[in-house]
């Protein structure tokens, strides 16, 4: 697993809670960053090794390949909201 | 008349023999302030894979009293359904509960397992532990 810092998004049509726009992740407790209104805006997450490059950064091509054909994840803009 | 032999060199292996890998997911945190429903962890079945869900667990404990107590909870959502929900409303330090169950179900490519927490109280803090494990294998 690799640890990366990502944005937290509010509930939307696909998610009934605050979430990270990644197919597989686990938030790290205590890493939350809140804004002035107390809203969760950033957090550290662990993501699978096979979704990252050698430097530990998220790898779009690897994520698209792993979830090939799944409309939510096999798309060019997959990391734009991360 | 005889019976056709079972198996053979080209027989398809059972699911638990098709490159099985145990995957675990977990979220644990203490001293967490009230918050809206948050997906603490998400696990999506990869293309070309399936998963057998082995177990799930969820637990909550109130750590400091709220000004106004609400519902605090941790739950596991399996393919859109709450499979286990630890839901409490007490406002005494130590109020809470924990549940863990063996689970038996398959998830297909694109299916999602989520770990959620939420606390509708005003003030106070809670501790959460929620997770699960699956065996992922070739579809």
The domain locations on chain B are 31-138
Q: What is d(CA B73, CA B60) in angstroms, rounded to the nearest whole number?
A: 6
Is pLDDT larger for residue B43 or for residue A38?
B43
- What is the pLDDT, as a whole number, of residue B7? 59
Find out whether B84 and B76 touch, Cβ atoms under 8 Å: yes
Cα angle A31-B125-A22, degrees, rounded to a multiple of 5: 35
- What is the pLDDT, as a whole number, of residue B104? 82
State whether residue B36 sits within 8 Å of chain A by CB: yes
Identify the helix (H) or strand (E) that includes residue B21: strand B21-32
**pLDDT at residue B113 is higher than 90:** yes
- What does the pLDDT look like over A19-70, one tens digit per residue? 999 999 999 999 999 998 888 999 999 999 999 999 999 999 999 999 999 9
Question: What is the distance of C-alpha A68 from the center of its chain?
Answer: 17
- What is the pLDDT, as a whole number, of residue A81? 87
Question: What is the distance of C-alpha A30 from the center of its chain?
Answer: 17
Q: Which residues from B are below 8 Å from A67, CB to CB?
A: 44, 46-47, 110
- What does the pLDDT look like over B20-41, one tens digit per residue? 999 999 999 999 999 999 999 9
Strands A25-27 vs B35-44: parallel, antiparallel or unpaired: antiparallel
Place of tokens 């050698």: A54
Confidence band (pLDDT; 50, 70, 90) for B95? very high
Confidence band (pLDDT; 50, 70, 90) for A1? very high
State whether residue B118 sits within 8 Å of chain A by CB: yes
Report the chain B residue with the minimal C-alpha distance to residue A30: B29
Q: What is d(CA B75, CA B59) in angstroms, rounded to the nearest whole number?
A: 8
CATH topology of domain B31-138: Jelly Rolls (2.60.120)
Closest CA to B138 of B38, B8, B17: B17
Residue by residue, DSSP assigns B81-139 as EEEEEEEE---STT-EEEEEEEEEEEE-TT-EEEEEEEE--BS-EEEEEEEEEEEEEE-
State whether residue A29 sits within 8 Å of chain B by CB: yes
Confidence band (pLDDT; 50, 70, 90) for B3? low
State whether residue B37 sits within 8 Å of chain A by CB: yes
From A19's Cα to the closest Cα of chain B, the distance in A is 5
State whether residue B27 sits within 8 Å of chain A by CB: yes
Closest CA to B84 of B62, B105, B63: B105
CB contact under 8 A, A66 and B115: no
Confidence band (pLDDT; 50, 70, 90) for B53? very high
Interface residue of A11, A29, A72 to substitute, partner B, most B CBs within 10 Å: A29
pTM: 0.93
- What does the pLDDT look like over B65-88, one tens digit per residue? 999 999 999 999 999 999 999 999
Closest CA to A52 of A65, A63, A68, A66: A63
């Amino acid at each position: 697993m690799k640890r990366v810092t990502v944005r937290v998004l509010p509930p939307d049509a696909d998610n009934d809670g605050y979430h990270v726009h990644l197919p597989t992740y686990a938030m790290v407790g205590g890493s939350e960053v809140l804004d002035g209104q107390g809203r969760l805006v950033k957090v550290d997450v662990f993501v699978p090794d096979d979704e990252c490059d050698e430097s530990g950064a998220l790898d779009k091509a690897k994520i698209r390949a792993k979830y090939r054909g799944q409309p939510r994840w096999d798309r060019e803009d997959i990391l734009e909201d991360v | 008349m005889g019976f056709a032999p079972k198996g053979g060199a080209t027989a398809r292996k059972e699911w638990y023999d098709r490159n099985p890998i145990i995957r675990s997911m977990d979220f644990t945190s203490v001293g967490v302030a009230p918050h809206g429903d948050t997906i603490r962890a998400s696990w999506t079945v990869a293309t070309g894979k399936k998963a057998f869900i082995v177990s799930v667990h969820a637990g909550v404990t109130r750590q400091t009293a709220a000004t106004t107590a609400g519902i605090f909870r941790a739950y596991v959502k399996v393919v859109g359904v709450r499979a286990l929900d630890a839901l409490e409303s007490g406002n005494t330090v130590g109020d809470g509960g924990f549940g863990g169950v063996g689970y038996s179900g398959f998830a297909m490519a694109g299916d999602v397992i989520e770990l959620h927490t939420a606390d509708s109280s005003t003030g106070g803090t809670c501790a959460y532990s929620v997770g699960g494990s699956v065996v992922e294998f070739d579809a």
